[in-house]
Amino acid sequence: MPSFINNPTALYQEAWGKQWAQHGGTILREDVIPAGQPAEGHFDIPKRLDYVCLDGMSKIRGALTLTTHVEESLVVRDEYVKLRGAMEGISPKAYRTVGVVVMGQQGIGKTAFLLYLLLHRLENKLPTAVQFGSHSYTIFDDGGAQTVPISKVDRRLSLCWALFDSNANVTQPCQPFRSAPQIVIQATSDELSPFEGWVKHLMGTCVVSDVPNMLEIAAILKELGFSPQRAFALVNKWGPSTRTILGLAQTRDLSTAEENLARIVTDTALYICGDPLDSKFPRFKQDLLFTRPYRPSGLTDIASSRLGTFFIPTAHLSRIFDMCCTGLSNEEKLQLFRALSSRRVTRPTGNWRYEVTMHRRLCIGGDALPIRRADRAGSCLMQPTTNVLPGTTTGLQKAALNSPFYWLPTVESLPGVDGVLGDTKGNIYVVRATLVDDDYTEDYSNPLKGLETIWAMVGQTLRDGGHWHFVIVADTAPTVDRYVGKYLDDLRDVTFGTRKVSMEVWSCVFPGK
C-alpha cells in the first residue's frame, strides 16, 4: 500500500470513482438518555439515528498535509447531506465563479463537511480542487491529482468545485480559487470576517450550518471509542459543540476542564453584558451563545440558510448568563435584547422596531395600559413594571405569582409571542406586538406553540394559580380587531401538556410613538 503522507495521488487512486471505506451504525435514544430523565434546553432528540461513518480519515489528512486535527472516523451528519444537496442546486454562472461560505458555531464539524464533500465528489468522478494551506492547492479530475502553487491559475480549475478550509493563518481562498472554478466553497468559524470582501465581490452567499443533535454527538463518541451515554450529561450541560464535548470526553481531569470552561463562559457573558451593542462581541461568544440557521421553510436552497440566530442551549449556561446580567439597568437589558434576539433578523424592520418600543413601554413602569376583552364587553388595565427578568429560560423560572415582573425572550425563540408580564393580582399577560403585515411566516403567525413553551417554562405556582391572558398589542384598532378575531376561537380552551387552560384574549391599542 502506498504511503499517503504528502501524496495526493495515493488519495486519488483510492477515492476516484470508488466508494471510500465506510460502515453503518445505529444509536437509539435509550442508549443515550437515562430512563425518566428528559433533556433540558433546545434538544429535539429523535428516537433513532442510523448513520454512515467514513473510516481512515488519517489518510486524507496525510495526503493533503492538513494542519487541522481530523479524527480517524467521520460520522456523516444529516446536515452535511442537506448542505451538499443545496449546493448541487446552484447553477454555475458564465464567466464568473460562484462563492459560498459555510459558517456556524465553532467546533461543529465544518472541516469534516468539506472532507465529506470531497470524498463524495471523488467517488462520483466530479472535478474538485482543495486548498488547506497557504502555499498550494490540489486538483482532482480525470487526469489524476496535481498540486499547484497558489500563484498559478491552472486551466483545469474551470471545471472544478474549489473547497477551501480557513484557519488562523489562512482566512480567504487563493486568487485562482476566486476567479477560475465554477464554485468556491469556504468553511469558516463565524467570528472570522475577512471573507466578507471576496464573497461580496463574487456576489456570493453565506450559509449558516446547523449544530449537531444529541444522537449525532453520541454516535461520534461511540465511533471514537467512548461511551455514547457520556453525550447526554456533557451536551445537556455545555451545549452541542462536537469539539467541546470531545475535549471533555478525552480529558483525564474532567473537573478541572469544566472549571476552565466555566471561566471562559463567564468571561464571555461579562464581556457581552458589558457592551451588548459592541459589533465585535460575536467573535467572543464561543461556548455560551450558539448559532443556528433560521430556516422557516427548511433547507430548500442555499439562500434559505443565509440567516443565523443566537441561542443559549442549556440551563447551566443560562444560569451563568443570568448571573452576569445581575445589576444591569432595564435599558441595558433592552440593549442586550436588541443585540441577541432572533427577531432582529426574522421580523421585518418596522415590526421589529415596534416590538422593541412595546418592550420599552412595558418595562418602565408608569401608567397602566387599557386593554379590551375580545369575546365580550369589558376592559381592564395592564400595569407595566420596572422588574425585568433575564431573558433566558432560567430567567422566566424566577417569576413569582402576585409579584410584578416582565420577561422578554432575549435568547429564546417563541413563535407568535413576544413577552410575559405579571402583576400583583396573579395576572399573567402573554403579549404579542403586531403590525398589519405580521403574517410574514406561518411559524410566527400562530402563537399556540409559543404559549405552550412559556407554559412549560414557568414555575408550578404560575401554572396553578395564575390568571392567563393573551394580549394582542397593535398600533391601530383595525389591526387589533383583525388578529383578535383570528385567535379568539383557537385560544378559548387550549391544552398545554395534560392541562386544559382558559386563555382569555385581550386587545391593546398602543401607537408606539
The 10s digit of each residue's pLDDT in 160-169 is: 999 999 876 7
Alpha helices in 1-56 (DSSP H): 8-15, 29-32
The 10s digit of each residue's pLDDT in 455-505 is: 999 999 999 999 999 999 999 998 888 888 778 877 877 888 788 888 889
Q: What confidence tier does 278 reach under pLDDT thresholds 50, 70, 90?
A: low
- Of 80-84, 419-423, 450-454, give the lowest mean pLDDT range: 450-454
Q: What pLDDT score does 313 carry?
A: 92
Average pLDDT of the chain? Answer: 89
Strand partners, 147: 138
Burial of 223 (0-12, 13-18, 19+ CB in 10 A): buried
Q: What pLDDT score does 440 carry?
A: 47
HEC per residue, 145-196: EEEEECCCCCHHHHHCEEEEECCCCCCCCCHHHHCCCCEEEEECCCCCCCHH
pLDDT over 60 (residue 279):
no
Measured on CA atoms in the order 263, 265, 271, 273, is the torsion positive or negative?
Answer: negative
Measured on CA atoms in the order 461, 467, 470, 472, is the torsion positive or negative?
Answer: negative
pLDDT over 60 (residue 141):
yes
Q: What pLDDT score does 468 carry?
A: 94
242 contacts: CB under 8 Å, gap ≥ 6: 107, 108, 109, 212, 217, 220
Nearest to 419 by CA among 400, 434, 441: 434
Q: What does the chain come to in residues? A: 513
According to DSSP, the β-strands at 183-187 and 161-165 are parallel
Q: What confidence tier does 185 reach under pLDDT thresholds 50, 70, 90?
A: very high
% the chain with pLDDT above 70? 93
Q: What pLDDT score does 201 carry?
A: 76
Q: What pLDDT score does 346 carry?
A: 84
CB 231 within 8 A of CB 219: no
Position with higher pLDDT, 230 vs 93 = 230
d(CA 335, CA 364): 14
Q: What pLDDT score does 44 carry?
A: 75
Q: What pLDDT score does 307 carry?
A: 86
Average of pLDDT values for 182-211? 77
The 10s digit of each residue's pLDDT in 392-439 is: 989 999 999 999 999 999 888 788 899 999 999 999 999 999 887 665
Strands, E assignment, 294-424: 308-311, 369-373, 379-382, 405-407, 419-422
Q: What pLDDT score does 122 carry?
A: 98
Position with higher pLDDT, 346 vs 238 = 238
Average of pLDDT values for 383-396? 93
Nearest to 363 by CA among 431, 455, 454: 431
CA atoms within 13 A on the CB side of 373: 10
Look up the pTM and report it: 0.90
The 10s digit of each residue's pLDDT in 281-332 is: 555 567 899 989 988 888 888 888 888 888 999 999 999 999 998 889 999 9
Listed in order, the ranges of the chain carrying CATH 3.40.50 are 8-208
pLDDT over 60 (residue 441):
no
Q: What CATH architecture applies to the domain 8-208?
A: 3-Layer(aba) Sandwich (3.40)
pLDDT over 60 (residue 238):
yes
% the chain with pLDDT above 90? 61
d(CA 301, CA 295): 10
Nearest to 155 by CA among 179, 180, 178, 138: 180
HEC per residue, 440-506: CCHHHHCCHHHHHHHHHHCCHHHHHHCEEEEEEEECCHHHHHHHHHHHCCCCCCEEECCEEECCEEE
Q: What pLDDT score does 327 carry?
A: 87
Query: Which of the listed ranges 67-76, 204-213, 422-431 does the model predict with the highest average pLDDT?
Result: 422-431
d(CA 253, CA 264): 17
pLDDT over 80 (residue 202):
no
379 contacts: CB under 8 Å, gap ≥ 6: 370, 371, 372, 373
Q: What confidence tier does 446 reach under pLDDT thresholds 50, 70, 90?
A: confident
The one-character DSSP state at 93 is: B
Q: What confidence tier does 104 reach under pLDDT thresholds 50, 70, 90?
A: confident
